Amino acid sequence: MAVSLHLREAHPDQLRWEFGMALGFATALGATAVTTLFPAAVPWWVLALGVAAALVVVSRWMSVGAAAFTAVVGWLCVEGFLLSTDGTLHWHGPQDLVVLAIGLVAVLALPLWHRLRA
């Protein structure tokens, strides 16, 4: 039995998963950093939509699993840094669920659409 020294070729879905998670994580942190510069008078839902819009742009290159991961990371960023402003997670009531729903719907839309069309 011959042993090959060549690396096994990565499956495209595996690359989309890994790349998507890294891209989503970086985008969530970047979008959160940018939206923290907005004035305090801006409503929380505008900030959540801003982060969601940035994540929608990058979700085109993600697998469905990576998109779900990205939505949760985006939600944690919005909760910890935009709603709490001190980096800690607190329950803010129903708006927390609304922010999570916005993130999941926004980020999963394109990957699910592309999967259904394929």
**pLDDT tens, residue by residue, 30-72:** 888 888 888 878 887 888 888 888 888 888 778 888 888 888 8
85: left (phi over 0), alpha (psi -120 to 50) or beta: left
Look at residue 44 in the predicted model and tell me its pLDDT.
Answer: 78
Q: Which of the two residues, 29 and 14, has the higher pLDDT score?
A: 29
Q: What is the pTM of this model?
A: 0.72
Taking the C-alpha atoms of residue 72 and residue 92, their distance in angstroms, rounded to an integer, is 16
Over 80: is that where the pLDDT of 6 sits?
no
Contact partners, residue 70, CB within 8 Å, separation at least 6: 20, 21, 23, 24, 25, 27, 28, 55, 58, 59, 62, 107
Sign of CA dihedral 62, 65, 69, 71: positive
Look at residue 9 in the predicted model and tell me its pLDDT.
Answer: 60
Identify the H or E element spanning 32: helix 12-35
Look at residue 115 in the predicted model and tell me its pLDDT.
Answer: 79
Look at residue 52 in the predicted model and tell me its pLDDT.
Answer: 83
